[in-house]
Amino acid sequence: MNALRTAALMTLLTLLLVAAGGAIGGQGGATFALLMAAVMNLGSYWFSDKIVVKMYRGREVQSGPLFDVVTELCRRNGLPMPRVYMLPQQAPNAFATGRNPQHAVVAATEGILQILSRDELMGVMAHELAHVQNRDILIGSIAATFAGAISWLAHMAQWALIFGGGRDDEDSNPLALIGMMILAPIAAMLVQMAISRSREYQADATGAKFCGSPFSLANALRKLEAGNRRQPMAKVNEATAHMFIVNPLKGGGMMALFSTHPPMEERIRRLEAMTVG
């Protein structure tokens, strides 16, 4: 099922990208977008464990509290040990990436160690290891890569409309450009939402079993949500927001309806209703 889900995601996002390229540059633009999609699919598969970590200037650690917690969780649950990275950010957050459990990365910000107890940190990293075990990480990385590319093409459409909208040629279609500028980023966001919201609930449930305490993860989520409200993460790439355990972007009210993450209150309620035998 995971292989089918990944293939369906690649196909859907490739079609979005080709449509966006066609709106900007006609047949030539569509061909260029198709070639770009092929490169991105390959890149997401083989290098997803490096792309996002480098984006946030992560450094690998092989000792310390974070490494020790991940090691204990893997030993306790019989999981393959991922590479562990620290991100130089004070906003408390964490994510996992990679193409499969054998080539996985788990990462956390420096700020997370300042506000969580060891049990709470174990709950957070158990959640990330659940994403690895449930094979969500490749899907999330592909969605991040394509969402970034689609957003870039939307910006390109703006410039094409400004500087090329007056041209009288068969590839120039101002209405298509305007539609692409509006609809393509929304479509990419909806794909991210559909992927992330359902998978977060499952990762919470699996993570609670890995760490043995749903209450530790619930308490950690409360602290992470409050911490990110006080000090949002700096220089967040919106295309990667769905990969983090809590939404690193500012936004409330109506914007919460379009969040890539499910409501925090519901996540905590489900965890506190769990019993782990």
CA distance linking residue 125 with residue 67, whole number of Å: 10
Q: Please, what is the angle between helix 174-211 and helix 214-230, to 10°?
A: 140
- Token pair 């977060």 is found at 200
Under DSSP, the state recorded for 104 is: E
Q: Residue 232 corresponds to which tokens in the numbers above?
A: 């949002």
What domains are defined for the chain? 47-141+178-272 (3.30.2010.10)
Please write down the HEC assignment for all residues of 73-92.
HHHHHCCCCCEEEEECCCCC
Catalytic position from the list 128, 225, 265, 272: 128
Residue identified by tokens 């890569």 is 145
Query: 87 and 56 in contact (C-beta within 8 Å)?
Result: yes
Any idea which residue has 């020790």 for tokens?
68
Q: In which band, very low, low, confident or very high, does the pLDDT at 27 lie, cut at 50, 70 and 90?
A: confident
Helix (H, G, I), strand (E, B) or coil at 58: coil
Interval 144-158 mean pLDDT = 65
pLDDT digits (tens, 9 = 90+) for 41-57: 666 666 667 878 888 99
Annotated binding-site residue numbers for Zn(2+): 127, 131, 200
Which residue ranges make up the annotated binding site?
127, 131, 200
pLDDT for residue 276 is more than 70: no
Using a cut of 0.75, tell me whether the model's pTM lies above it.
Answer: no
Task: Please state whether beta strands 104-109 and 83-87 pair in parallel, antiparallel, or not at all (unpaired).
Answer: parallel
Residue 182 has pLDDT above 60, yes or no: yes
Bridge partners, 231 (sequence order): none
Which of 29-38, 90-99, 121-130, 187-196 comes out lowest in average pLDDT? 187-196
- Average per-residue pLDDT for the chain: 79
Confidence of residue 14 (pLDDT cuts 50, 70, 90): confident
Task: Give the model's pLDDT for residue 169.
Answer: 47
Sheet containing 59-61: give its strands across: 59-61, 83-87, 104-109, 94-98
Of 200 and 261, the one with more pLDDT: 200
Quickly state the pLDDT bin for 256 (edges 50, 70, 90): very low
End-to-end CA distance of the chain: 28
Structure tokens at 213: 């305490």
128 is catalytic: yes
Q: Which residue has the higher pLDDT, 87 or 19?
A: 87
Please compute, for residue 110, the number of CA atoms within 13 A of its CA located in the half-sphere on the CB side: 9
- C-alpha 64/C-alpha 51 separation (Å) is 24
Across 62-87, average pLDDT: 97
Distance CA 82, CA 67 (A): 10
